[in-house]
Amino acid sequence: MVTIAKEVNLSQAEVQLKGVVAGAGDQYLPVAYSVTSRKRETADTVTLTLKPKDSRSSVCPRPRPGQFNMLYVFGVGEIPVSVCGIEPDGALLHTIRRVGAVSVALCDSKVGTVIGVRGAYGVGWPVARMRQRSLIILAGGLGLAPLLMLIRHVVRCRSDFADITICIGARTPQDVPFLREILSWQRLKYDAGLFDVRLIVDRADRDWRGEVGVVTSLLPRSLTAPECSLALICGPEVMMRHAASDLVRLGLSHCDIYLSLERNMKCAFGLCGHCQLNRYFVCRDGPIFSFEKVESLLNVKDL
Amino acid sequence: MVTLRTIDNLIADHPFFAGLGSDFVTFIAGCGRNRYVEEGDYLAHEGEEANAFFLIRRGKISVETNVPGRGPVVLETLGIGDIAGWSWIFPPYKWAFDVVAREAASFIEINGLCLRGKCEADPALGYAVLKRFAGIMSERLRDTRLRLLDLYGNDRKRS
């Protein structure tokens, strides 16, 4: 009896899965984009500008801050890469670090190289919840890339928000991505509200005039109105766990802290299960999650 | 009109001593003095007698050590609201690192010898002071451990 029941369940699941897979076919098809410029950010990081290969080809939907695209290097493989900007003409900006075969191939791609793009995927940063709130934005290493579009939006619409604190950490002064833009933010002056952009590196010699230490040490010591604050964090998961705990101690509610998680994303639309995190698929339900949703999961080893 | 702020006021307002009773603040203020240093001035030299700690009010200082062949290496920078120095609490009372002003800085210098005497005489004061130092030590130890992980290092092998 048990065996029969299992068979029935399995066949139902198979039927469901076949339906989903049949509907997913088009979603696996990449759109051909050309690399139109390549800018070296640091020794191992490159920003690529991607435009549709020709004017007749289709384009991917315009991504929202925090979303990602799947970038396909033909003959090598496909990886998820967050969108760090959109040019006025709609060109996509992706910053990639040399880590494995696909990212190295992307970093080495020359102007004119054709790359497959699928997207945009995932849940972006909670832009609608940010209005009129004080924002604490914390980025570690290349975690700044998925926050870049968001910070540019905040700078552009400064009056929509209360106090803004941006804390950026990097390994050494040579490893700071988007340094010129960070310095330009530090020079910004606004009539009302705090706008504080701080940069810190893990290690440096005396030539470095900035701060040295871990990025979480830049968090404010106290908050006047934690109930009106929202925190947005992206970086190594260990750093995010500690930062989120510090923010809870400062009085922020778990539901007002957002983290960008990274897992092994393959299909990017919640089908293959590679990025499963308990009841969530990081590609579909994330990569941005509230701390309320994932706090307990982050403490489970190897999940 | 300029309001003169006493050492008591400055200590009571410093985050390190937040919530400390006014009696204790007065006790500690008796060991304190206001100081100002220019960029590049040393507040402490590694290996020398440690008989003070600093409550930073303005500016930025760094904790440094000299590495042969590399020169001075900045271990950590500290700014407004931070404190520097706990070598005065434990024997042999020697500074473990250099403390240097990265920019002009104002701070309250607390005489460690004076405060140690008061803490020995009044365990409640000693506990209140040590509890605060333990908090800072625990925080900086965690931060150091996080930096030891070299989280931004490119040692992951993925796609």
- Cα separation, A113 vs A261, whole angstroms: 29
How would you write the pLDDT of chain A (303 residues) with one tens digit per residue? 444 444 445 566 565 555 555 556 677 889 999 999 999 999 999 999 999 988 777 788 899 999 999 999 999 999 999 999 999 988 999 999 999 999 999 999 999 999 999 989 999 999 999 999 999 999 999 999 999 999 999 999 999 999 999 999 999 999 999 999 999 999 998 888 889 999 999 998 888 989 999 999 999 887 888 999 999 999 999 999 999 999 999 999 999 999 999 888 888 888 888 989 989 999 999 899 999 999 999 888 877
Look at A100 and B81 and tell me if their CB atoms are within 8 Å.
Answer: no
Look at A206 and B143 and tell me if their CB atoms are within 8 Å.
Answer: no
How would you write the pLDDT of chain B (159 residues) with one tens digit per residue? 666 789 999 999 999 999 999 999 999 999 999 999 999 999 999 999 999 999 999 999 999 999 998 889 999 999 999 999 999 999 999 999 999 999 999 999 999 999 999 999 999 999 999 999 999 999 999 999 999 999 887 655 444
Residue B159: which of A77, A236, A239 has the nearest Cβ?
A77
B144 neighbourhood in chain A, CB within 8 Å: 214
Listed residue (A161, A145, A171, A256) closest to B153, CA to CA? A171
Q: What is the DSSP letter of A235?
A: S
CB B121 within 8 A of CB B128: no
Look at A169 and B152 and tell me if their CB atoms are within 8 Å.
Answer: yes
The verdict on whether omega for the bond into residue B92 sits within 30 degrees of 0, i.e. cis, is yes
Residue B77: which of A77, A175, A212 has the nearest Cβ?
A212
Interface test with A, best of B55, B76, B154, B156 (most A CBs within 10 A): B154
CB A171 within 8 A of CB A126: no
Q: What is the ipTM of this complex?
A: 0.88
One DSSP character per residue, A26-49 reads GGGPPEEEEEEEEEEEETTEEEEE
Structure token pair of residue A154:
């905040």
Q: Partners of B67 in the beta sheet?
A: B71
The distance of B106 to chain A (nearest Cα, Å) reads: 18
- State the pLDDT at residue A2: 41
CB A249 within 8 A of CB A291: no
Residue A99: which of B74, B146, B154 has the nearest Cβ?
B154
- State the pLDDT at residue A3: 43
Listed residue (B143, B76, B78) closest to A246, CA to CA? B143
The domain limits of chain B are 7-148
- Cα separation, B145 vs A41, whole angstroms: 28
Interface test with B, best of A70, A175, A205, A263 (most B CBs within 10 A): A205
A220 neighbourhood in chain B, CB within 8 Å: none
Residue B151: which of A100, A102, A239 has the nearest Cβ?
A239
- State the pLDDT at residue A18: 58
> From A73, which residue of chain B is nearest by alpha-carbon distance?
B159
- State the pLDDT at residue B155: 53
| Largest CA-CA distance found in chain B, in angstroms, rounded | 65
If interface means Cβ-Cβ distance under 8 Å, which residues of chain A face chain B? 44, 77, 79, 97-103, 140-142, 169-171, 175, 200, 202-206, 208-214, 216-217, 221-222, 235-236, 238-239, 242
Look at A100 and B149 and tell me if their CB atoms are within 8 Å.
Answer: no
Domains of chain A in start order, with CATH, are 28-121 (2.40.30.10), 127-298 (3.40.50.80)
| Single pTM value for the model | 0.89
A174 neighbourhood in chain B, CB within 8 Å: none
CATH pick for B7-148 out of 3.40.50.970, 2.60.120.10, 3.40.50.720, 1.10.490.10: 2.60.120.10
Look at A205 and B149 and tell me if their CB atoms are within 8 Å.
Answer: no
Number of neighbouring beta carbons within 10 Å of residue A229: 23
The distance of A235 to chain B (nearest Cα, Å) reads: 9
Long-range pairs, A267-274, Cβ under 8 A, ≥24: A267/A24, A267/A27, A267/A28, A268/A27, A268/A68, A268/A70, A268/A80, A268/A118, A268/A119, A268/A121, A268/A122, A269/A24, A269/A27, A269/A121, A271/A20, A271/A21, A271/A24
Look at A211 and B60 and tell me if their CB atoms are within 8 Å.
Answer: yes
